[in-house]
Each structure stands twice: as structure tokens, then as C-alpha cells.
Amino acid sequence: MKITKLETIWFAAMPKSAWQQQMGQSRQALPNNLWVRIYTDTGLVGLGETYYIPSATSAIIHDVYAPLLIGRDARDIENHWANLFSLVNFCGFAGAEMRALSAVDIALWDLLGQHTGEPIYNLLGGRSRDRIALYNTCVGFGNYADDWGWLEGRAGELAQSLLQQGIKAMKVWPFDQFGATLAGPMHPRAKVR
């Protein structure tokens, strides 16, 4: 199962969701997600995903990783990971290099799962629980985006909307540089309770 091609797909900026429009949120979703498709000579295509600064991550995938992976066996996941990691770890353990490595790794595991007909959790040693809890992350965009105003006073509405969708937990991070006092950032939490 030889790798023949790597493709990256950037998510374009999307229009505001109905919830964002209803809540008066001014910003649009940013194109921060990136999918990676790894094609093989067997016709199988693995899909991986990463987040944040897709231009840098895509460049690493195409300029650095693809030349080292094309023509190789997609099933040699650990070997590929170790080789790619040793090539870029001088940059540290974060950044575009690691995000690219993560996306490629996910796509390779997806390929192995398709090839064997097994779910990835079985390939990784079996499942450890029957269910996984789901939660919604309520954040702004960018490093320190000040989008908390849309949540202020309407956090209860958001919580009700999530409950109607079967989502029973939400994560809000009110303790950033914009939360000058504890009382202000804690206001949305009170609305949710």
C-alpha cells in the first residue's frame, strides 16, 4: 500500500452560523482548519485533520513531509512518525511542524483502519470505555479575540440551545486578558447554571 500523493484542504471562511447571527456575533468563522488526504496505490485515501495557521502547516506537509512519504508503505506508521519527528523536532514540540505531523499521523492511521477493516481504537489496543462525553467549546477567534460580548447575558440561551442538541456540557474560558475582574468573567457561568 504505497503512498502516491498528499493533498491539503483548507476550510474557507464560512458565513456566520444561525446561532452567531442570532446572538449578534460580528466575526465570521476563520479558515483555521486543515484536512490532509493521503492517497495510496490501492485506491484507499486516509483523512487527517489539524487546526490553526493552515498555510504554514500545509507548506510543511507539501514541502517537507510529502517528498519523504511518497512511494513508501503507508502501513509503516511508527517509522514514518519517527523519521518525520526527528527531521523537525529542532523546532521544539509545538508549531506547524507538529500540527502537520499530527494530521499526517491521523491520516495514516485512517488508512490502516480502512486496510484492515478494523476501527482505529482496536488497532491502538482496544476501547477503554463504552461512551465518550461530548462538550461544546465556547471561544472567540485568534490568540486573544475579544468575542465574549456576544455571550454576556445570553449564556443561558446558549446552554439551552446546546441541551436541545443533546450536548450536556460547555467549556467557557473567561479568565483571559479581557477578564480584569473575577466578577465580570463569571457572569456567563451564573447564566448557565
Question: Which tens digit of pLDDT belongs to each residue from 8-60?
Answer: 998 765 555 555 555 555 555 556 789 999 999 999 999 999 988 889 999 99
Q: Does residue 108 contact residue 123 with C-beta atoms inside 8 Å?
A: no
180 has pLDDT over 60: no
Reply yes or no on whether the pLDDT at 145 is more than 50.
no
The pLDDT, as a whole number, for residue 32 is 77
Domain ranges of the chain: 3-123, 136-192
**CA atoms of 97 and 95, how far apart (whole Å):** 5
Q: What is the pTM of this model?
A: 0.72
pLDDT at 90 over 50: yes
For domain 3-123, say whether CATH 3.30.390.10 is its number.
yes
Question: CB of 11 within 8 A of CB of 129?
Answer: no
Q: HSE-up of 138 (CA within 13 Å, CB side)?
A: 28
| Residue pLDDT, tens place only, 103-116 | 999 999 999 999 99
